[in-house]
Structure 1
Amino acid sequence: MGDLREEIREKIENKQFNCEKELTLSIISGKWKIVIIYQLGIDGPLRFNAIQRLFPRISHKVLSNQLRELEEDGIVNRQVYHEVVPIQVEYSLTPLGETLLPIVLMMYDWGKKRMEDLKV
């Protein structure tokens, strides 16, 4: 995680982010990241297959990439259980990831209201 912080510091110092919102968006951008954060926040820790069942349209590769990026950004924790056969991997929100949950929940509420307003 130290390398990640250094990388982010360098991007900020090199003016690669014009504002704080760009930093936030760079972390949660991706078609599935927000819904992954939502499900882990609501359902708690989930195994890879359980996440994939929640989103049947997501490919194995895309889900793996999205989870890896969230892990690299310090949002998701990947816990490997070697003592279980076959080896199990469980994903959960980190304390930093949990701080995004209120934002994601507000986005959900806004979208739900907007859909109701549009009668979708």
Structure 2
Amino acid sequence: MYCIDDKKYPCTTSLTMKYIGGKWKAVILIHLIRKLRYNELRKELPMVTERTISLQLKELEEDGLIKRTVHTSKPPLKVEYELTEFGETLIPLLKAISEWGRETAKSNKRIDVVA
């Protein structure tokens, strides 16, 4: 049993999924390997609703995986997102997940690879 913030996890896999589980968190995180403005991230994920992206970003920020920087020096307001040092520890895992998906897509004739 593993405990973080008074929440119990039966195994380390469930603990990992607490941070990256769900349909879009890992996808958002892999895009944030490089710093992106909110609108840039939206363009990268056209199939995800604005509300979903906003909620996932909030959760990722609360979990300490990403940081949100607001630049107010001149209009229009500029908001950037990037991985924190803690979030960067996920990069090898995110890249491995991405590579597994790429290889699966190549080897599975039922999956169409669209550029």
1:36 aligns with 2:32: no
Please give the residue correspondences for 1:1-120 in structure 2 after superposition, counting only pairs within 5 Å. 8-11=4-7, 16-41=8-33, 44-119=34-109, 120=111
User: Which amino acid is the alignment partner of residue 30 of structure 1?
Assistant: G
Q: Using CA pairs under 8 Å that are at least 6 residues apart, name the structure with larger relative contact order, 1 or 2.
A: 1
Local SS of the residue matching 1:91: strand
Task: Determine what percentage of the aligned residue pairs are the same residue.
Answer: 39
Deviation (angstroms), 1:84: 2.3
The alignment covers a number of residue pairs equal to 108
The answer to whether the Cα contact below 8 Å between 1:30 and 1:66 also exists between their aligned partners in 2 is: no
Specify every segment of 5 or more residues in structure 2 that has no aligned partner in the other structure, as ranges: none
Deviation (angstroms), 1:109: 0.8
* Structure number with higher helix proportion: 1
Q: Please identify runs of 4+ aligned residues in structure 1 that moved more than 6 A.
A: none
* Structure number with higher strand proportion: 2
TM-score by length of 1: 0.85
Specify every segment of 5 or more residues in structure 1 that has no aligned partner in the other structure, as ranges: 1-6
Deviation (angstroms), 1:9: 3.0
User: Which amino acid is the alignment partner of residue 8 of structure 1?
Assistant: I
User: Which amino acid is the alignment partner of residue 17 of structure 1?
Assistant: Y
CA distance in 2, matches of 1:114, 1:52: 26
